[in-house]
Amino acid sequence: MAKSGIEWVDIVFNWCVRLLYDWATFFGITYEEINIWVFIVIWPIVTLAMAIWIVLLLRQNRRLKAHIAT
């Protein structure tokens, strides 16, 4: 598997690959398919949702600060 030369990186990478293989088996799909689902579909959706949530929280925070100042 991983051979970066940095032991902790190799350990984490190998653990993640094994986890993806286990998830793929559980869902009845291949490692490549689970990789696509996680990194091409789910991750971008979660990132976009978090960005929207952060913007909404910043707006709410700005309104609360303005309300407190008055």
pLDDT (tens digit per residue) in 21-50: 999 999 999 999 999 999 999 999 999 999
Share above pLDDT 90 across residues of the chain, in percent, rounded to a whole number: 94
Hey, what amino acid is at 4?
S
**pLDDT at position 36, please?**
97
> Could you tell me if 2 and 9 are in contact, meaning their C-beta atoms sit under 8 angstroms apart?
yes
Q: Give the SS3 label for residue 48.
A: helix
Hey, what amino acid is at 12?
V
- Phi, then psi, of 55 in degrees rounded to 5: -60, -45
Between CA 48 and CA 13, with CA 25 as vertex, the angle to 5 degrees is: 60
pLDDT band at 70 (very low <50, low <70, confident <90, very high): confident
**pLDDT at position 13, please?**
95
